Amino acid sequence: MSSSPTGFVPSDTQITEVGLPPGATPWIGPRGQVMERLELHLTYHCPERCLFCSEDHRMQRYNAFPVTWGRVAKVLRLHAERGVKAVHFTGGEPTIHPRFIEVLQLARKLGMRTSIGTIGTMLARPDFAERALPWLDEALFSVHGPTAAVHDAMAGRDGSFERVTAAMRNARRIRPDFSLFANTVITARNIEHLPDTVGMLGELGARLIVVSNLTAEGGGFDRYGDLAPSLDAMARILPTTPARAPDAVLRFFGVPMCLLGEHWPNSNDLHWDPRVTVEWQSAPGKVAFAGIYSWAPDRKRVHPPACAGCTRQDVCMGVNDAYVEHFGTAALRPFGSGE
Ligand code: SF4
């Protein structure tokens, strides 16, 4: 499929080949949203083995296909021409791309704001951090527990907590003004530690802390029944967390809004920008580096019958479809006229 010549994309998600001639700038979504954000998968390798890694299957399928400098440069130039103003590099672990710093430099040269999602691998090295940080506007560090014991069990590798927290300290030391952000994935095994995780991230200087619900993709799909945090646990614990990091902004990603208590305005459903994600895709008879257009944060989320009558159904994207299938939705607390 490709985007229409007018740039109007009629459905919420489409796949198109990267490399189409520019012609529809800017890209406009079904509700008039302007596409200004690119997510680019730089590599299909990672030194960690996170139990819930949403990219696990894709890394196995595509790690034989390197994301070359030429391919990255082509994607960045195309999207800059089409009005994209910010690029988020992800992976695998983006900092291990052999030309990572040059990639950042090119994105900046093209006028893009640069960010990464990282578990800190290369930024834990002070010399590398010194060279990379000047070209980065923000970094979202993956931290899944308040201690080495909790985080390393999630990341599947000893020493992971030490590396990612060292990377955060390097970033703060080298660029005190840096947009130091953190992402923590909640599972049944670490959710009881979440208040301490948020507190620790606040002390490390995180300005934005994203609490991400487990998604049923990759390792998260394989282990969903074991790893999914319950709606009851989320309703009990999530509303207590903003107070643990008073200087940070908290966002809750993939979480039913009705479980957030008075903090429902911190739902990421209300603070989400359309994006095109460029990565390897399987097409008939070939593998293509292609863009997936997302106009709403509704991937793999549904409104089960329990949401009927909820007054926030138009802005809340609902519950993970896998959760509904495995566990049901008795714990939902639909917003009603009495709120
Ligand atoms: S009841 Fe459904 S639509 Fe309403 S806030 Fe909860 S999950 Fe969202």
Residue 317 C-alpha to ligand 1 middle, in angstroms?
Answer: 8
Residue 20 has pLDDT above 60, yes or no: no
Flag whether the pTM goes above 0.85: yes
How much is the pLDDT for 171? 98
Residue 332 has pLDDT above 80, yes or no: yes
Residue nearest to atom 1 of ligand 1 (CA): 334
Helix, strand, coil % (nearest 5) of the chain? 35, 20, 45
Task: Determine the Cα–Cα distance for residues 99 and 94; give it in Å rounded to an integer.
Answer: 10
List, for residues 140-174, the tens digit of each pLDDT value.
Answer: 999 999 999 999 999 999 999 999 999 999 999 99
Among 335, 337, 339, name the best residue to mutate to test ligand 1's pocket (greatest count of ligand atoms within 8 A of Cβ): 335
How much is the pLDDT for 19? 46
Of 173-177, 179-183, 232-236, 274-278, give the lowest mean pLDDT range.
274-278
What does the chain come to in residues?
339
Q: Is 319 in the pocket of ligand 1 (CB under 6 A)?
A: yes
How much is the pLDDT for 273? 83
How much is the pLDDT for 338? 52
C-alpha torsion 228→232→233→235, nearest 10: 120
Contacts of 106 (CB under 8 A, 6+ apart): 72, 73, 76
Among 252, 253, 257, 320, name the best residue to mutate to test ligand 1's pocket (greatest count of ligand atoms within 8 A of Cβ): 257
Please state the separation of Cα 269 from the chain's center in Å. Answer: 13
In the chain, the N- to C-terminal Cα span, in Å, equals: 44
All structural domains of the chain: 13-300 (3.20.20.70)
Q: Is 313 in the pocket of ligand 1 (CB under 6 A)?
A: yes
How much is the pLDDT for 32? 74
List, for residues 60-96, the tens digit of each pLDDT value.
Answer: 999 999 999 999 999 999 999 888 999 999 999 999 9
Residue 258 C-alpha to ligand 1 middle, in angstroms?
Answer: 5
How much is the pLDDT for 2? 30
How much is the pLDDT for 101? 98
Residue 332 C-alpha to ligand 1 middle, in angstroms?
Answer: 7
Of 20-24, 51-55, 209-213, give the lowest mean pLDDT range.
20-24
List, for residues 191-222, the tens digit of each pLDDT value.
Answer: 999 999 999 999 999 999 999 999 999 999 99
Residue 4 C-alpha to ligand 1 middle, in angstroms?
Answer: 33
Q: Is 75 in the pocket of ligand 1 (CB under 6 A)?
A: no
Task: Determine the Cα–Cα distance for residues 73 and 208; give it in Å rounded to an integer.
Answer: 29
Q: Choose the most confident range, by mean pLDDT, from 18-32, 259-273, 283-297.
A: 259-273
Q: For residues 163-192, give the mean pLDDT.
A: 97
Q: Is 155 in the pocket of ligand 1 (CB under 6 A)?
A: no
* Ligand 1 atom nearest to 329, measured from its CA: 7
Geometric angle at alpha carbon 204, from 200 and 206, rounded to 5°: 95
At position 143, the amino acid (one-letter code) is V
